[in-house]
Structure 1
Protein backbone atom coordinates (compact mmCIF):
# COMPACT_ATOMS: atom_id res chain seq x y z
CA UNK A 1 0.00 0.00 0.00
CA UNK A 2 2.71 2.33 -0.97
CA UNK A 3 4.88 1.55 2.04
CA UNK A 4 8.64 1.80 1.88
CA UNK A 5 9.71 -1.65 0.79
CA UNK A 6 13.42 -0.97 0.34
CA UNK A 7 14.55 -2.86 3.46
CA UNK A 8 12.39 -5.91 2.85
CA UNK A 9 13.74 -9.24 1.61
CA UNK A 10 13.23 -9.72 -2.12
CA UNK A 11 10.52 -12.36 -1.76
CA UNK A 12 8.48 -10.15 0.58
CA UNK A 13 8.94 -7.05 -1.59
CA UNK A 14 7.95 -9.00 -4.70
CA UNK A 15 4.89 -10.39 -2.94
CA UNK A 16 3.81 -6.91 -1.82
CA UNK A 17 4.18 -5.71 -5.41
CA UNK A 18 2.22 -8.72 -6.67
CA UNK A 19 -0.62 -8.05 -4.21
CA UNK A 20 -0.70 -4.33 -5.02
CA UNK A 21 -0.88 -4.99 -8.76
CA UNK A 22 -3.20 -8.04 -8.72
CA UNK A 23 -5.61 -7.22 -5.85
CA UNK A 24 -8.41 -6.98 -8.42
CA UNK A 25 -8.14 -10.69 -9.20
CA UNK A 26 -9.39 -13.57 -7.08
CA UNK A 27 -6.31 -14.53 -5.05
CA UNK A 28 -5.84 -17.25 -2.48
CA UNK A 29 -3.00 -17.70 -0.02
CA UNK A 30 -1.72 -20.42 -2.34
CA UNK A 31 -1.66 -17.98 -5.27
CA UNK A 32 0.36 -15.54 -3.19
CA UNK A 33 2.81 -17.96 -1.58
CA UNK A 34 3.58 -20.06 -4.65
CA UNK A 35 5.40 -17.06 -6.11
CA UNK A 36 7.88 -17.22 -3.24
CA UNK A 37 8.36 -21.00 -3.60
CA UNK A 38 7.99 -21.40 0.16
CA UNK A 39 5.45 -23.23 2.28
CA UNK A 40 2.33 -21.26 3.20
CA UNK A 41 3.19 -21.55 6.88
CA UNK A 42 6.81 -20.42 6.54
CA UNK A 43 6.04 -17.59 4.14
CA UNK A 44 3.10 -16.30 6.19
CA UNK A 45 5.30 -16.16 9.29
CA UNK A 46 8.07 -14.40 7.37
CA UNK A 47 5.63 -11.92 5.83
CA UNK A 48 4.12 -11.21 9.23
CA UNK A 49 7.56 -10.74 10.79
CA UNK A 50 8.37 -7.91 8.37
CA UNK A 51 4.97 -6.31 7.78
CA UNK A 52 3.13 -7.10 11.03
CA UNK A 53 0.22 -8.56 9.05
CA UNK A 54 -0.48 -11.74 7.09
CA UNK A 55 -0.47 -11.82 3.28
CA UNK A 56 -4.27 -12.25 3.24
CA UNK A 57 -4.78 -9.36 5.67
CA UNK A 58 -2.50 -7.23 3.50
CA UNK A 59 -4.52 -8.21 0.42
CA UNK A 60 -7.78 -7.34 2.19
CA UNK A 61 -6.44 -3.97 3.37
CA UNK A 62 -5.22 -3.19 -0.15
CA UNK A 63 -8.62 -4.06 -1.61
CA UNK A 64 -10.58 -2.07 0.95
CA UNK A 65 -8.29 0.96 0.58
CA UNK A 66 -8.87 0.90 -3.20
CA UNK A 67 -12.61 0.43 -2.65
CA UNK A 68 -12.67 3.47 -0.36
CA UNK A 69 -10.99 5.52 -3.08
CA UNK A 70 -13.51 4.35 -5.70
CA UNK A 71 -16.44 5.02 -3.37
CA UNK A 72 -15.29 8.61 -2.86
CA UNK A 73 -14.16 9.43 -6.38
CA UNK A 74 -16.70 7.61 -8.56
CA UNK A 75 -20.41 6.92 -8.77
CA UNK A 76 -19.85 3.29 -9.71
CA UNK A 77 -22.34 0.82 -8.24
CA UNK A 78 -21.19 -1.18 -5.19
CA UNK A 79 -21.33 -4.40 -7.26
CA UNK A 80 -18.91 -2.93 -9.80
CA UNK A 81 -16.54 -1.69 -7.10
CA UNK A 82 -16.64 -5.14 -5.48
CA UNK A 83 -15.60 -6.78 -8.76
CA UNK A 84 -12.91 -4.15 -9.45
CA UNK A 85 -11.36 -4.84 -6.07
CA UNK A 86 -11.25 -8.62 -6.42
CA UNK A 87 -14.54 -9.67 -4.84
CA UNK A 88 -16.89 -11.91 -6.80
CA UNK A 89 -19.75 -11.35 -4.37
CA UNK A 90 -20.96 -7.84 -3.50
CA UNK A 91 -22.56 -9.05 -0.27
CA UNK A 92 -19.28 -10.53 0.93
CA UNK A 93 -17.47 -7.34 -0.10
CA UNK A 94 -19.96 -5.29 1.94
CA UNK A 95 -19.51 -7.59 4.93
CA UNK A 96 -15.70 -7.27 4.82
CA UNK A 97 -15.93 -3.51 4.26
CA UNK A 98 -18.30 -3.07 7.22
CA UNK A 99 -16.06 -5.17 9.47
CA UNK A 100 -12.94 -3.15 8.60
CA UNK A 101 -14.41 0.37 8.29
CA UNK A 102 -17.37 0.18 10.65
CA UNK A 103 -20.05 1.08 8.12
CA UNK A 104 -21.44 -0.17 4.84
CA UNK A 105 -19.83 0.93 1.56
CA UNK A 106 -22.94 2.97 0.72
CA UNK A 107 -22.90 4.73 4.12
CA UNK A 108 -19.18 5.39 3.76
CA UNK A 109 -19.74 6.93 0.34
CA UNK A 110 -22.50 9.22 1.62
CA UNK A 111 -20.73 10.19 4.85
CA UNK A 112 -17.35 10.78 3.23
CA UNK A 113 -18.78 12.91 0.46
CA UNK A 114 -20.76 14.95 2.98
CA UNK A 115 -17.64 15.52 5.08
CA UNK A 116 -15.63 16.53 2.03
CA UNK A 117 -18.42 18.85 0.87
CA UNK A 118 -18.70 20.47 4.30
CA UNK A 119 -14.93 20.84 4.43
CA UNK A 120 -14.95 22.74 1.13
CA UNK A 121 -17.66 25.11 2.35
CA UNK A 122 -15.90 25.85 5.65
CA UNK A 123 -12.55 26.53 4.04
Structure 2
Protein backbone atom coordinates (compact mmCIF):
# COMPACT_ATOMS: atom_id res chain seq x y z
CA UNK A 1 0.00 0.00 0.00
CA UNK A 2 1.25 3.48 -0.84
CA UNK A 3 0.01 6.97 0.01
CA UNK A 4 -1.91 7.00 -3.26
CA UNK A 5 -3.81 3.91 -2.13
CA UNK A 6 -4.99 5.96 0.86
CA UNK A 7 -5.90 8.87 -1.44
CA UNK A 8 -3.26 11.06 0.22
CA UNK A 9 -0.76 13.32 -1.49
CA UNK A 10 2.66 13.74 0.10
CA UNK A 11 1.62 17.28 1.13
CA UNK A 12 -1.55 16.01 2.80
CA UNK A 13 0.50 13.35 4.58
CA UNK A 14 2.93 16.01 5.83
CA UNK A 15 0.01 18.09 7.12
CA UNK A 16 -1.49 15.13 8.98
CA UNK A 17 1.93 14.25 10.37
CA UNK A 18 2.47 17.81 11.61
CA UNK A 19 -0.98 17.99 13.17
CA UNK A 20 -0.35 14.71 14.99
CA UNK A 21 2.00 16.74 17.20
CA UNK A 22 -0.93 18.93 18.33
CA UNK A 23 -3.32 21.64 17.19
CA UNK A 24 -1.90 24.41 15.06
CA UNK A 25 -2.96 27.69 13.51
CA UNK A 26 -2.75 28.01 9.73
CA UNK A 27 0.22 30.38 9.97
CA UNK A 28 2.17 27.86 12.10
CA UNK A 29 1.30 25.04 9.71
CA UNK A 30 2.39 27.13 6.71
CA UNK A 31 5.68 28.03 8.38
CA UNK A 32 6.48 24.45 9.39
CA UNK A 33 5.59 22.97 6.02
CA UNK A 34 7.23 25.85 4.09
CA UNK A 35 4.09 26.54 2.06
CA UNK A 36 1.77 29.53 1.75
CA UNK A 37 -1.30 29.97 3.93
CA UNK A 38 -3.57 29.55 0.88
CA UNK A 39 -1.87 26.20 0.23
CA UNK A 40 -2.60 25.14 3.81
CA UNK A 41 -6.22 26.18 3.31
CA UNK A 42 -6.50 24.10 0.13
CA UNK A 43 -4.92 21.06 1.79
CA UNK A 44 -7.09 21.43 4.88
CA UNK A 45 -10.26 21.84 2.82
CA UNK A 46 -9.80 18.43 1.23
CA UNK A 47 -8.86 16.71 4.48
CA UNK A 48 -11.73 18.34 6.36
CA UNK A 49 -14.24 17.18 3.72
CA UNK A 50 -12.97 13.63 4.29
CA UNK A 51 -13.38 14.02 8.05
CA UNK A 52 -9.64 13.75 8.73
CA UNK A 53 -9.21 17.13 10.36
CA UNK A 54 -11.34 19.72 12.07
CA UNK A 55 -10.94 23.49 12.00
CA UNK A 56 -12.19 25.81 14.69
CA UNK A 57 -11.89 29.51 15.39
CA UNK A 58 -9.74 30.58 18.34
CA UNK A 59 -12.14 31.92 21.00
CA UNK A 60 -9.75 34.76 21.90
CA UNK A 61 -9.08 35.81 18.28
CA UNK A 62 -11.54 34.65 15.64
CA UNK A 63 -9.05 35.48 12.88
CA UNK A 64 -6.98 32.50 14.05
CA UNK A 65 -8.18 29.11 12.86
CA UNK A 66 -6.84 26.03 14.64
CA UNK A 67 -6.45 22.74 12.81
CA UNK A 68 -6.63 19.42 14.62
CA UNK A 69 -6.77 15.77 13.62
CA UNK A 70 -9.95 13.80 14.09
CA UNK A 71 -10.00 10.15 15.14
CA UNK A 72 -10.37 9.21 11.47
CA UNK A 73 -7.38 11.41 10.66
CA UNK A 74 -5.27 9.62 13.25
CA UNK A 75 -6.29 6.24 11.83
CA UNK A 76 -5.45 7.28 8.24
CA UNK A 77 -2.13 8.72 9.44
CA UNK A 78 -1.26 5.42 11.15
CA UNK A 79 -1.99 3.55 7.91
CA UNK A 80 0.04 6.09 5.93
CA UNK A 81 2.98 5.77 8.34
CA UNK A 82 2.85 2.01 7.89
CA UNK A 83 2.72 2.37 4.09
CA UNK A 84 5.74 4.69 4.07
CA UNK A 85 7.68 2.36 6.39
CA UNK A 86 6.82 -0.60 4.14
CA UNK A 87 8.05 1.26 1.06
CA UNK A 88 11.32 2.24 2.72
CA UNK A 89 11.86 -1.29 3.99
CA UNK A 90 11.07 -2.68 0.55
CA UNK A 91 13.65 -0.43 -1.06
CA UNK A 92 16.23 -1.32 1.60
CA UNK A 93 15.62 -5.01 0.86
CA UNK A 94 17.65 -4.54 -2.34
CA UNK A 95 20.74 -4.17 -0.15
CA UNK A 96 22.49 -6.81 1.89
CA UNK A 97 21.49 -6.94 5.55
CA UNK A 98 24.39 -4.82 6.83
CA UNK A 99 23.87 -2.17 4.16
CA UNK A 100 20.11 -2.10 4.76
CA UNK A 101 20.66 -1.67 8.49
CA UNK A 102 23.11 1.19 7.92
CA UNK A 103 20.77 2.84 5.40
CA UNK A 104 17.82 2.73 7.80
CA UNK A 105 19.99 3.98 10.67
CA UNK A 106 21.15 6.81 8.39
CA UNK A 107 17.55 7.80 7.70
CA UNK A 108 16.86 7.85 11.43
CA UNK A 109 19.88 10.11 11.95
CA UNK A 110 18.72 12.47 9.18
CA UNK A 111 15.32 12.61 10.83
CA UNK A 112 16.93 13.54 14.14
CA UNK A 113 19.06 16.21 12.44
CA UNK A 114 15.98 17.69 10.77
CA UNK A 115 14.08 17.79 14.07
CA UNK A 116 16.98 19.48 15.85
CA UNK A 117 17.43 22.04 13.06
CA UNK A 118 13.71 22.82 13.09
CA UNK A 119 13.66 23.17 16.87
CA UNK A 120 16.63 25.53 16.77
CA UNK A 121 14.98 27.65 14.07
CA UNK A 122 11.78 27.87 16.12
CA UNK A 123 13.64 28.82 19.31
CA UNK A 124 15.54 31.59 17.52
CA UNK A 125 12.35 33.22 16.17
TM-score range, shorter chain: 0.3 to 0.5
* More helix, by proportion: 1
TM-score with structure 2 length normalisation?
0.33
Higher relative contact order (Cα pairs below 8 Å, separated by 6+ residues): 2
TM-score with structure 1 length normalisation?
0.34
